[in-house]
Amino acid sequence: MGLLARAAPLILGLFIALAYKVHEELSVTPSVPNNIEFYEYWGPKGGDPYGDSLEIVPFNISYPSAVIERLREKLYDGPSLTAPLEGTNFQYGFNSGRLEKIVDYWRTDYLDRWNEREAYLNKFNHFKTKIQGLDIHFIRDKSESVVNPKRIVPLLMLHGWPGSVREFYDIIPRLSNRTSDKDYVFDVIVPSLPGYGWSQGTTKPGLSASKVAVIMKNLMARLGYKRFYIQGGDWGAIIGNLMAILFEKDILGIHLNMCMASESPLTIGKMIVSSFAPRYFIEEQYVEFYQPVWPKIVQLVVESGYMHLQATKPDTIGTALEANPVGLAAYILEKFSTWTDPANRDLADGGLETHYTLDALLDNVMIYYLTNSITTSQRLYAESFNMEETSKRYERIPTNVPAACAKFRHELMQYPDWILKDHFTNLMQTNHYDDGGHFAAMQLPDVLYADIVQFVNRLYVR
């Protein structure tokens, strides 16, 4: 051990030199393309690439009772679940004993009140419009009483996987209503990502996160906004970040609750360096958010098996989950357990109802089930991680868009500000929260709301 300790500086120096060399040789920073394909067609084969209607039509969530009763039958006729191992909770994945209780609630109490849940999902104004050949669904909530355009702030909110627009239901009215903490109201636009929920999936390969960023930009243009703010987590954070890179002059500010550093070997080197002397690089009260590094990396590996599967074989796992509501619920709800707090693995109920209601969780599952969108949602991983897309690596391009990072204690991965600032060169705000995880908008809407308002208040000009 003594020899290893003495050799550590040499090993570290060699690693940093190697990281710089790899960075120099393999990662020539791409430039923002001058000819972004704003009209690239993603609709069905044989469709008109220039046939998009500019029409925005109201959309209502409505399913016949026969669809709901068919779901109830599937839940009654579901698989016989294998009993969990003795003395285990969620350490091996979703505990089957807990799952049986959730399924029983789903097929009885929840589905008995489906009309109520459907009405709840329709509480905001829903719309659809055709963008680049795809029907794109979005929620829009805008104050009817504020008419001065200078006091209306456009905000695009982007969800991730396995979330949906349902994540934002508690925070939307806080943002769109008049409140004493802000001199404006938000015009809140919450789209379903292409292939998620009620937004149409493409039939063509290649719809990666950078391509989705263009679709989202075109959606905001359709709504009359050239410049706007962005908020997002998970894929929403990745897509929002790409929009801040590709359309830097048009993004007023970007607020993320999953800030990612530049994709480069140098970032890895910096993470290792900070692990040797964390208090030199990180304010002491926040060291535990980032250190020790290795257990956090192990934790990330434990939680990222789904990513490898969806980035390589999305249709295989999709086939296993389509028309299989019990499996779908287990696959999705497990993430709401351990991504909210890894300690939930040790709880008999997975900690799900500590932070969420079963109705809210099942609303989200129902969106995937009713729209049959689990496979199309997972393809975003395969498209975004393929070799052609990876070779572009727009994420390496720094952005000077004003940025804010809300850091919740149990987020899957955290980067210290001194590393983030290489990418977010205008990082204006960082707040650390001792609670919270990956689904901040759904778990802690009041906290996330206050963080967004604090950021926009810094930039808002009457």
Residue 373 CB partners (closer than 8 Å, separation 6+) = 195, 196, 197, 201, 367
Q: Which one is predicted more confidently, 387 or 104?
A: 104
**pLDDT value of residue 272:** 65
**Residue 25's pLDDT band (boundaries 50, 70, 90)?**
very low
Mean pLDDT of the region 146-152: 91
Between CA 243 and CA 231 the distance in angstroms is 11
Q: Is the peptide bond before 162 cis (omega within 30 degrees of 0)?
A: yes
**Residue 1's pLDDT band (boundaries 50, 70, 90)?**
very low
DSSP 8-state class, residue 317: H
Work out the mean pLDDT of the chain and round it to a whole number.
Answer: 90
**pLDDT value of residue 262:** 74
**pLDDT value of residue 394:** 84
Of the candidates 266, 257, 235, 245, the one whose C-alpha atom is nearest the C-alpha of residue 393 is: 245
**Residue 3's pLDDT band (boundaries 50, 70, 90)?**
very low
**pLDDT value of residue 22:** 44
Which pTM does this prediction carry? 0.91
**Residue 388's pLDDT band (boundaries 50, 70, 90)?**
low
**Residue 452's pLDDT band (boundaries 50, 70, 90)?**
very high
- Quote helix, strand, coil % in the chain, to nearest 5: 50, 15, 35
Between CA 302 and CA 376 the distance in angstroms is 24
User: Is residue 350 within 8 Å of residue 99, measured between CB atoms?
Assistant: no
| pLDDT exceeds cutoff 90 at 18 | no
Between CA 367 and CA 211 the distance in angstroms is 23
How confident is the model over 269-295, as pLDDT tens digits?
Answer: 676 667 666 766 778 788 888 878 788
Mean pLDDT of the region 376-387: 92
What is the chain's alpha carbon radius of gyration, rounded to the nearest angstrom?
Answer: 22
Q: Which one is predicted more confidently, 448 or 289?
A: 448
| pLDDT exceeds cutoff 50 at 4 | no
**pLDDT value of residue 14:** 45
* Contacts made by residues 220-223, CB under 8 angstroms, sequence distance 24+: 220/154, 220/156, 220/189, 222/54, 222/56, 222/129, 222/131, 223/56, 223/140, 223/154, 223/189
**pLDDT value of residue 28:** 55
Mean pLDDT of the region 163-187: 97
**Residue 30's pLDDT band (boundaries 50, 70, 90)?**
low
| pLDDT exceeds cutoff 90 at 178 | yes
| pLDDT exceeds cutoff 90 at 430 | yes
Other CB atoms within 10 Å distance of the CB of residue 155: 25
**Residue 5's pLDDT band (boundaries 50, 70, 90)?**
very low
How confident is the model over 216-243, as pLDDT tens digits?
Answer: 999 999 999 999 999 999 999 999 999 9
Lowest-confidence segment of 125-139, 180-194, 293-307, 360-374 by average pLDDT: 293-307
Burial of 148 (0-12, 13-18, 19+ CB in 10 A): exposed
How confident is the model over 75-109, as pLDDT tens digits?
Answer: 998 788 999 999 999 999 999 999 999 999 999 99
**Residue 300's pLDDT band (boundaries 50, 70, 90)?**
confident
**Residue 390's pLDDT band (boundaries 50, 70, 90)?**
low
User: Is residue 398 within 8 Å of residue 373, measured between CB atoms?
Assistant: no
Between CA 118 and CA 125 the distance in angstroms is 13
Q: Which one is predicted more confidently, 32 or 312?
A: 312
Catalytic residues: 234, 381, 438
Structure tokens at 303: 């939680």
Structure tokens at 325: 């509501």
Between CA 178 and CA 145 the distance in angstroms is 9
Of the candidates 330, 328, 337, the one whose C-alpha atom is nearest the C-alpha of residue 373 is: 328
Percentage of the residues of the chain whose pLDDT score is greater than 70: 88
| pLDDT exceeds cutoff 70 at 371 | yes
**pLDDT value of residue 203:** 95
